């Protein structure tokens, strides 16, 4: 933990509706600092997500929260048209996207793609990390890494 990093009490308060535990607290501390950290095995280099204390490849317990590059591809996405709150109807479909990070095949983070019309979302499109503000909190999201007009060939 670097100097000036949020302490545990601050993390619990900031993410009061998230189940914080010893395996994911570094990730959420990173989010507060605008850093995207995922656990990585010190012994074999495997990236570990969802957050776990044990490397699934070599069973090492020596794990270090490590910053990702932020580039990846849209592995899959779905658009949800049903509102979760009848008092707040959706104005547009809610998006859930799995981003496969360049660090490792199969390393997928559930997020969403922003700064891109929903109609331009394409499987395997290159994306890069950006940040969005929601409910006074900063969250990682992804945006197209290339010109979306060129990529789809639709002009």
Enumerate binding residues for Zn ion (CB under 5 A).
Answer: 41, 43-44, 46, 55, 57-58, 60
Which of residues 58 and 94 has its CB atom nearest to Zn ion in the complex? 58
Which of residues 103 and 111 has its CB atom nearest to Zn ion in the complex? 103
Query: Minimal distance in Å, beta carbon 58 to Zn ion?
Result: 3
Which of residues 1 and 59 has its CB atom nearest to Zn ion in the complex? 59
Which of residues 60 and 71 has its CB atom nearest to Zn ion in the complex? 60
Query: Minimal distance in Å, beta carbon 46 to Zn ion?
Result: 5
Question: Rounded CA gap, 64 and 27, in Å?
Answer: 11
Task: Give yes or no for a contact between 129 and 68, defined as CB atoms under 8 angstroms apart.
Answer: yes
Q: Strands, DSSP E only, in the chain?
A: 37-41, 47-48, 63-67, 71-80, 94-101, 108-111, 126-134, 137-144
For the chain, the residue count is: 155
Query: Minimal distance in Å, beta carbon 38 to Zn ion?
Result: 14
List C-alpha distances in Å: 106 to 29, 89, 102: 24, 34, 9
Q: How deeply is 63 buried, as exposed, middle or buried, from its count of CB atoms within 10 A (0-12, 13-18, 19+)?
A: buried
Query: Minimal distance in Å, beta carbon 63 to Zn ion?
Result: 8
């Amino acid at each position: 933990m670097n100097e000036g990093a949020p302490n545990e009490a601050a993390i619990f308060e900031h993410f009061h509706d998230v189940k914080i535990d010893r395996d994911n607290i570094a990730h959420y501390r990173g989010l507060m600092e605008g850093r995207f950290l995922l656990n990585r095995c010190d012994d074999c280099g495997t990236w570990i997500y969802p957050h776990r204390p044990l490397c699934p490849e070599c069973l090492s317990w020596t794990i270090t929260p490590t910053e990702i590059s932020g580039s990846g591809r849209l592995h899959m996405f779905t658009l949800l048209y049903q509102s979760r709150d009848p008092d707040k109807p959706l104005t547009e479909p809610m998006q859930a996207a799995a981003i496969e990070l360049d660090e490792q095949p199969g390393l997928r983070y559930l997020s969403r793609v922003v700064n891109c019309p929903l109609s331009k979302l394409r499987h395997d499109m290159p994306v890069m990390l950006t940040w969005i503000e929601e409910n006074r909190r900063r969250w990682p999201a992804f945006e197209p890494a290339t010109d979306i007009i060129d990529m789809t060939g639709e002009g």
